[in-house]
Amino acid sequence: MEKSQFTYYLESAVRTAWNLAERIHVTGGEVAAGRFGDGPPVVLVHGTPASSYLWRNVVPELAQRHTVYVWDLLGYGDSRLAADAAPSIALQARTLAELVEHWALDAPALVGHDIGGGVVMRAHLVEQVPARGLALLDAAVLGPWNTAFTEHMQGHAEAYRTMPPDVFADIIGPRLRTATHRPLSDADLSAYLAPWHGPDGQQRWIDQVVAVDHTDTAAAVARLGEVTAPTLVLWGEKDRWLTPDTGARLATAIADARFETIPGAGHFIAEDRPRATATALTRFLALLSEPIG
């Protein structure tokens, strides 16, 4: 039988020039991480179903003035989840706290996309990670934030776990294409799909889908009134996964938060409009005060 288009993308996926050299042992497994540039620290946290590859075209501009730290969430990209752990937002937030301590950062700027936004807010408000600024990009913070696609997978997890890998590929490939407003190139689609290749990748995808839960961000949402760090809420104007009105509500819930949209950008804002995303972040970071003690 001829292989489908998306099975081909999975099987032909190769590592790109975007490689994270550092490996850090944490409570929940082993994190793949990297750092770039020099200056005030900024930590970038990707969401699902992406990896730090999302930031590859944003990092160069940020690194001109900052030390930029990137990492793959546990169970994503090149990071490895411990066998007895679940890749929940709560675990990722604890991991972020461990990483900030490992890197000896006093109060970095924290930038989170999608569930990475939930990770950032839980790390800051629940795990008490200090931050000199917060940037939330198309962020899964205010519930309900699961898409209908994710909810269907959660409700039928066993069916998705046991379906043939080529059928699974035919589902997640087209789904990923909806994350951007402009068409994803075949090479970029292949790079995003690479960590989910084969039976093991299929199981990891379902593991992370099952693990994400609104209750993990609810604890942070209940404490949004405690946020005093300067906050930017940045959204793709064409986001079909989490529409801009969600971003507007989030900005309203955080005192003095700035809300901005980027035209022509979908949910994967840094993929669609990397230069505009980097420019918005650079402008925001320039406004931040000196790091707190």
191, part of any domain = no
Question: Residue 9 has what pLDDT?
Answer: 38
CATH code of the domain covering residue 278: 3.40.50.1820
220, part of any domain = yes
Question: Residue 261 has what pLDDT?
Answer: 98
Q: Is the torsion defined by CA of 139, 147, 145, 10 positive or negative?
A: negative
Other beta carbons within 10 Å of 147: 16
5, part of any domain = no
293, part of any domain = no
Nearest to 234 by CA among 178, 169, 281, 184: 281
239, part of any domain = yes
Question: Residue 1 has what pLDDT?
Answer: 35
pLDDT along the chain (293 residues), means of 10: 41 56 97 97 98 97 97 97 96 99 98 98 98 98 87 94 94 95 95 94 95 90 97 98 96 98 98 98 88 46
242, part of any domain = yes
232, part of any domain = yes
Domain, as residue range, for 88: 19-146+214-288
- Listed in sequence order, the residues at least 6 apart from 115 whose beta carbon sits closer than 8 Å to its beta carbon are 47, 48, 89, 92, 140, 212
Say how many residues make up the chain: 293
Structure tokens at 209: 């889908």
Question: Residue 4 has what pLDDT?
Answer: 47
Look at the chain and report how many structural domains it folds into: 1
Question: Residue 215 has what pLDDT?
Answer: 87
Residues pairing with 262 in the sheet = 236
Q: 33, 70 in Cβ contact below 8 A?
A: yes
3-state class (DSSP) for residue 271: helix
**Cα(173)–Cα(160) distance, integer angstroms:** 14
3-state class (DSSP) for residue 136: strand
Question: Residue 17 has what pLDDT?
Answer: 57
b/e sequence 193-221, b meaning 16+ C-beta within 10 Å? bbbbbeeebbebbbbbbbbbbeebbeebb
Q: What is the pTM of this model?
A: 0.92
153, part of any domain = no
